[in-house]
Structure 1
């Protein structure tokens, strides 16, 4: 049901004439607004990274505030809904999931139920899709990046 709302939102944006950019893969059906900004998140204690994007001004201000701090002082973690990437897409450094760009923010605290490292989420994706949140406590925004190629 939640994917219905996500795709309805995408349809409304297209109808409104929003400028869209497709993934680099012509087989990827995921469309990303041209004004979306991409961020790489690191996972402390591992070499795992993942990507999230948004154009939400409130979220962007939270991310910018974290990026203005020295890396060691970036203590907020990402918390949001994850979705399964459509076939042919690779917009999250090899993971089969991505954060819903309309439903994530940075948090100081989150419940343990949605914590985990990215590989654990990959291995138990259906469980995390059912939980409807992913909130890796050990994550932090490491840098802004251009759209993944």
Structure 2
């Protein structure tokens, strides 16, 4: 009986581990990448929330006409899917807006040039909401 209990415990532990790992694995499977413009600058964001992915696709196909601008919290590290920039938006904080306050507005190149100042008087809390931002297309990382 002890052998059966040990096997049952191992199966239960394996199932618990699978359940613990599956949301992260599922989130990676569900990730979608979108090219965003701010005037002449282009960058790439990563979305993992299915509702936000659908919202971004609505912007691309023209069915979403109001909340077309991107807002999120900057991470001061490069991301492999966002080449050419020393920062990216934290996927967990990205959302869309129609109107925002001026304190979080800047172009991508301006953020890059002043990244060391971001989080202080410039982009308080590292929140970035470029008024000129717009999702223009869905992309595959590494293929542009």
TM-score (norm 1): 0.69
- Is the Cα–Cα contact under 8 Å of residues 81 and 103 in structure 1 kept in the other structure? yes
Whether 1:16 aligns to 2:20 is yes
Structure 1 gap ranges (5+): 1-13, 21-31
Give SS of 2:92's match.
strand
- Is the Cα–Cα contact under 8 Å of residues 90 and 96 in structure 1 kept in the other structure? no
Mapped partners of 2:104, 2:19: distance in 1: 34
- Matching residue within 58, 62, 65 for 1:69: 62
User: Residues 15 and 122 from structure 1, CA distance in 2 versus in 1: closer, same or farther, beyond 3 angstroms?
Assistant: farther
Task: Provide, for residues 59-111 of structure 1, a one-character-per-residue CA deviation record: whole Å limited to 9, x for no partner.
Answer: 123212211218xx67721011010125xx53313100001000011100111
Whether 1:78 aligns to 2:82 is no
More helix by share: 2
Match of 2:45 in 1: 52
Give how far 1:43 is off: 1.8
Whether 1:129 aligns to 2:123 is no
Structure 2 gap ranges (5+): 1-17
Match of 2:28 in 1: 33
Larger radius of gyration: 2
- Is the Cα–Cα contact under 8 Å of residues 80 and 134 in structure 1 kept in the other structure? yes
Superposition CA RMSD, Å: 2.6
User: Residues 101 and 15 from structure 1, CA distance in 2 versus in 1: closer, same or farther, beyond 3 angstroms?
Assistant: farther
Mapped partners of 1:122, 1:53: distance in 2: 18
User: Residues 115 and 55 from structure 1, CA distance in 2 versus in 1: closer, same or farther, beyond 3 angstroms?
Assistant: same
